[in-house]
Amino acid sequence: MKLIDMQVKEYLDVLKSDAPAPGGGSVSALAGAQGVALFMMVADLTLGKEKYVDYQEVCREAKEKGAALYEELVASVDKDTEAFNLIAAAFKMPKETDEEKAARKKAIADGTLVATEVPFRTMQLGYEGLMLAKTMIGKSNLSAASDLGVAVLNLTGCIKGAWLNVKINLPGVKDEAKAAYYAEEGQKMFDAADQIASSLYNEVASAL
C-alpha cells in the first residue's frame, strides 16, 4: 500500500517503527503538501467573499497553481521512500564476481542519484508553494491568517527537510556536474527560503 493511501494513524505507526523508510524525505514532502493544502483552504475561504473583493485574483491564482503543486508533493511522499528502497536493494546485490561488483556499484550510484533528485524536486515544489503563500499574506481572509502562517511553517519545513536529504546523498552522486548543480541550486533555495519564511512568519504573527 502507498504511504499516502494509509490512514493517518497507520502512517504514523510505520513512521515511528524501526523501518528505515519512510523517513525524513517523505515527511518533508508531506509537510509541503500540508502547506499547500492550507493556503488553498485559505484561498477558498476568501474567494466569493464581498469583504475581500480586492483579493479575489490573488487567491484564485494561488489556488489554481497550488493544485498542481499539491498533487506532485503528494506523489513525492511515496517517491522518496521508493528512492531509498532502490539504494537498499542495490546494497543487497551479490558481489562475488567482478561483474556482480560492477553491477552492484552501478545500481548503488543510480539509486543514489534518484534519492538526490527526488528531494531536490521536493525542495523546488516547496519553494514554489512558499512563493504562492507569500502572495496571500495580507491579501486573504483575515480570520484564517494563522492558517496561512502554519502553511508557511510547513512549506519551510518541507524545503529545509528536503535539503538535508539532498545533502546526505550528494557525496554518493558520481556525476560531478549534477552533484555541483544540486549543491549550488539547493543552497540558493535554502538561503532564499530561510529569509523569506522568517519575514512572512513575523508579518503574520504581528498582525494577529
pLDDT in tens, 123-170: 999 999 999 999 999 999 999 999 999 999 999 999 999 999 999 999
% residues pLDDT > 70 (the chain): 100
Q: What is the largest CA-CA distance in the chain?
A: 73
Q: Whole-model pTM?
A: 0.94
Residue burial 6-40, b: 16+ Cβ < 10 Å; e: rest: eeeeebeebbeeeeebbeebbbbbbbbbbbbbbbb
Q: Is the pLDDT confidence value at 68 over 90?
A: yes
Coil, strand or helix at 177? helix
Q: Is the pLDDT confidence value at 207 over 90?
A: no
Q: Is the pLDDT confidence value at 20 over 90?
A: no
Mean pLDDT value of segment 54-70? 98
Q: Whose grid coordinates read 552533484?
A: 179
Mean pLDDT value of segment 28-35? 98
Provide the mean pLDDT of the chain.
95
The contacts of residue 75 (CB under 8 Å, 6+ apart) are 4
As a 3-state breakdown, the chain gives helix, strand, coil percent values, each rounded to 5, of 85, 0, 15
Q: Which of 119, 134, 136, 133 is nearest to 190 (CA)?
A: 119
pLDDT, position 19? 85
Mean pLDDT value of segment 177-190? 97
Mean pLDDT value of segment 73-90? 93
Q: Is the pLDDT confidence value at 189 over 90?
A: yes
Cα separation of 15 and 58, whole Å? Answer: 37
Mean pLDDT value of segment 104-127? 96
Residue 119, preceding peptide bond in cis (omega within 30° of 0): no
Could you say which of 1.20.120.680, 3.70.10.10, 3.40.605.10, 3.40.630.30 is the CATH number of the domain covering 22-207? 1.20.120.680
Q: Whose grid coordinates read 502512517?
A: 11
